[in-house]
Amino acid sequence: MRPLTIDLAELAFALNSEDLDHHLDLLSGKIILLLAEDADPELEALLREEPERFVAIEPLPASAGLGLMQEFLQEVSHPQAYIALEQALAGRKAVRTFNHILMGYPPLLQAWQDFEAARLHELALDWLDEHELQPAS
């Protein structure tokens, strides 16, 4: 495995960002966001000329986000919040409803944000491992 200095929080964000085109620059370790409406011609040329230098970062499927919410639900001990969150995940617009319900429980909202950040960090490490990369210490 090749060590690479990389911002794991940025990689976690890229993995959790649907509809955005992120690439990892294997030379610099930087996460690059490509915007279709504001394309950088130099960057596009570099991607064409040195494709082996970049790895596309495919976002996690929506089902992965719902899976994280299901995992978090198992840690919720507040009975009313548990029932409301469980119903949210079983209904339409589950993500939006789940987040809306958490707004009514600030300590749970913080716990969810901490849980999600920790799990996304783990998923970022898994992604690096799958690509035979390791974060530099």
Helix axes 8-15, 106-130, angle to 10 degrees: 100
**50 and 66: one domain?**
no
Mean pLDDT lowest among 17-21, 23-27, 80-84: 17-21
Query: What is the structure's pLDDT at 46?
Result: 87
68 pLDDT higher than 90: yes
Q: Is 21 exposed, middle or buried, given 0-12, 13-18 or 19+ CB atoms closer than 10 A?
A: middle
User: Residue 95 has what pLDDT?
Assistant: 94
Whole-model pTM: value is: 0.85
Of residues 75 and 135, more confidence is placed in 75
Q: Supply the mean pLDDT for the chain.
A: 92
SS3 57: strand
- At 137, is the pLDDT very low, low, confident or very high (cuts 50, 70, 90)? low
**62 pLDDT exceeds 90?**
no
Average pLDDT, integer, range 85-101: 96
Helix axes 94-103, 106-130, angle to 10 degrees: 140
Residues 66 and 55 in one domain: no
Mark whether 47 and 93 lie in a shared domain: no
Q: Looking at the structure, do residues 48 and 8 belong to the same domain, yes or no?
A: yes
Pair (76, 119) in one structural domain = yes
Inform me whether the pLDDT recorded for 1 exceeds 70: no
Whether residue 131 sits in one domain with residue 94? no
Residue 55, pLDDT > 90, answer yes
131 with 119, same domain?
no
What domain range is 90 assigned to? Answer: 62-123
Q: Residue 112: how many CB atoms within 10 A of its CB?
A: 21
Euclidean distance between CA atoms 117 and 94, whole angstroms: 19
Whether residue 39 is found in the same domain as residue 10: yes
Task: Specify whether 50 is located in the same domain as 6.
Answer: yes
Q: Which band of pLDDT confidence, cut at 50, 70 and 90, is reported for residue 130?
A: very high
**37 and 8 both lie in a single domain:** yes
